[in-house]
Structure 1
Amino acid sequence: MQLPKATLLTALAMLAFAGNSVLCRLALDTTAIDPASFTSLRLISGATVLWLLVTLRGGGAFSHGSWPSALALFAYAAGFSWAYIHLDAGMGALLLFAAVQVTMIGTGIVRGERLTLPQQAGMTLALLGLIALLLPGSSAPPLPAALSMLAAGIAWGIYSLRGRGASNPTAVTAGNFLRAAPLAILLSLALLQSQSLDSQGVLYALASGAVTSGLGYAIWYAALPHLRASVAATVQLSVPVITTLGGALLLAEPLTLRLLLASAMILGGIALVLRKPVAKG
């Protein structure tokens, strides 16, 4: 694969990941769909697209993945949807990204990895940025929604850690989506009395699952073999930025000083941590 093609695939994957936040916020802010239905439709459509991709390649999706990973995927998707009832797209993406990275880096530290001094400074800066983002004030996110998104990020971090080193990540993701979809359906059935659907909301949910989740992950896994690990980690710093711009353009969400400063602290701090491999202690 030529570098320009790898660059294009990477850019498309980052746009897809940002698109998940924008589509979810669009659905839950501008349509009547409820978060449980959005979660179910997203996971079902994502599972369908990934199953088709794996099947067309001659593989069996359900033979890959696991129920613990599917549970983490479901927890991420549900927390993500409930958070976006009240969070702006950019704010939600920043909280999600911060929680994912802190979970993965923190797990590495617990397992015996050691951060260099610049990496320690970066981790401290990122945590201070997260605290600054959540401190009470007129532009602070609603705490329950923020906690829901942080929980979603922790779940996604766990899911990502469990999937490290998978020999066929697309098939593993397909198997996990196929297992997570019934969990989401059960949740929708449990909350049937509060179910609310409309055509636009359903369309956003299906697009989130089929395009920005299913195809987005497939594109990302096609790009990954052609990226150094440090590049793959660092390029994901663009997702909250793209999401914030998308929220401002499509949803007229304000770019507050708190969000901009916290974004610089969190993303800058994580960039310092990802700049070089973690030293073994």
Structure 2
Amino acid sequence: MSHARVIGMTALAMLAFAGNSLLCRVALKDTGIDAASFTTIRLVSGAVMLWLLVCTRRGTYSGSGSWLSALMLFAYAAGFSFAYLSLPAAAGALILFGAVQATMITHGIVRGERFRGRQLLGLVLAFGGLVGLMLPGLSAPPLYGSLLMLAAGGAWGIYSLRGKGAGDPLRVTAGNFIRAIPFAIVLSAFSFKAISVDGAGFWYALASGAITSGVGYAIWYTALPALKATNAATVQLSVPVIAALGGIVFLGESLTMRLAITSVAIIGGIALVVMSKAE
């Protein structure tokens, strides 16, 4: 694969991941769809798209996913949707990203990984940024939504850790999406009285599942083997930035001083941790 193609596919994948935040936020803010229905449609359409992509590939691949990973995927998707009932796209993406990385870094520490120098500084910066973002104040994001997004990020972090070495990433992801559907159906059943789906909301949820999730993951897993581990981790730092810019341009959200400062602290802190590992 050429260098230019790798760059192009990586950029598309990052746009897709940031697009999930924008699609979810605009659907729950400007259409009549409820969070449970958005979650269910997203997971079903993502499962169908991933299954079709797996079926079109040639060759033999291992891995089929697991029920525990599917539960983590569902917990992420549901927490993500309900959090965006109140969170702006930028703050939601930043909290999600910070929680994912915090979960994976904590896992490394528990397993005996030691952090020194710039890595410790990065940990302090990132943690301080998350705390600063969520402290009470006029420009603080809603606490309930923030906690839901933290939980969603933690679930996605666990999901990502479980996915390492589980087999072909695309096949495993397809299997987990399919297994997550029953959990989503149960959620919709419990939310039956609040179910509301209009045309615009349905199409936003479908796009989130089939395109920015299904196709986005397929593009990412195609480009991933050509990226160094550190480069792959570092490039994901762009996702909350893209989501923030998209929220400002397409959703009319404002960039507060608190969000700007805490974004630099969180993203910069995580960058210090990730990049220092390569040295």
Equivalent position of 2:50 in the other structure: 50
Gaps of 5+ in 1: none
- Matches of 2:216 and 2:266, distance apart in 1: 24
Equivalent position of 2:222 in the other structure: 222
Equivalent position of 1:277 in the other structure: 277
Equivalent position of 1:34 in the other structure: 34
- Matches of 2:176 and 2:32, distance apart in 1: 28
Equivalent position of 1:123 in the other structure: 123
- Matches of 2:153 and 2:91, distance apart in 1: 13
Q: Assess if the C-alpha contact under 8 Å between 1:114 and 1:278 holds in 2.
A: no
Letter in 2 for 1:101: Q
**Alpha-carbon displacement from aligned partner over 1:81-138 (angstroms, at most 9, x marks no partner):** 0000000001000000000000000100000011121100100010001111001100
Alignment of 1:98-177 (within 5 A): 98-177=98-177
- Matches of 1:185 and 1:206, distance apart in 2: 16
| 3-state SS of paired residue (1:184) | helix
Q: Assess if the C-alpha contact under 8 Å between 1:83 and 1:146 holds in 2.
A: yes
Q: Assess if the C-alpha contact under 8 Å between 1:67 and 1:176 holds in 2.
A: yes
State the shift of 1:147 in Å: 0.1
Please say if 1:69 is aligned against 2:72.
no
The TM-score normalised by the length of structure 2 is 0.97
Letter in 2 for 1:171: R
- Matches of 2:205 and 2:212, distance apart in 1: 10
Residue 218 to residue 36, structure 1, CA distance change in 2 (3 Å) = same
Letter in 2 for 1:85: L
- Matches of 2:53 and 2:201, distance apart in 1: 25
Equivalent position of 1:205 in the other structure: 205
Q: Assess if the C-alpha contact under 8 Å between 1:28 and 1:34 holds in 2.
A: yes
Q: Assess if the C-alpha contact under 8 Å between 2:63 and 2:166 holds in 1.
A: no
Residue 211 to residue 220, structure 1, CA distance change in 2 (3 Å) = same
Where do 4+ consecutive residues of structure 1 move more than 4 Å? Answer: 58-63
- Matches of 1:131 and 1:54, distance apart in 2: 41
**Alpha-carbon displacement from aligned partner over 1:223-263 (angstroms, at most 9, x marks no partner):** 00000000000000000000000000111000000000000
- Matches of 1:240 and 1:60, distance apart in 2: 35
Q: Assess if the C-alpha contact under 8 Å between 2:65 and 2:166 holds in 1.
A: no
Please say if 1:233 is aligned against 2:227.
no
Letter in 1 for 2:238: S
Please say if 1:246 is aligned against 2:246.
yes
Q: Assess if the C-alpha contact under 8 Å between 2:62 and 2:167 holds in 1.
A: no
How many residues in Structure 1 have an aligned counterpart in Structure 2? 279
RMSD value, Cα? 1.5
**Alpha-carbon displacement from aligned partner over 1:171-218 (angstroms, at most 9, x marks no partner):** 000000000012101110121111011000000000000000000000
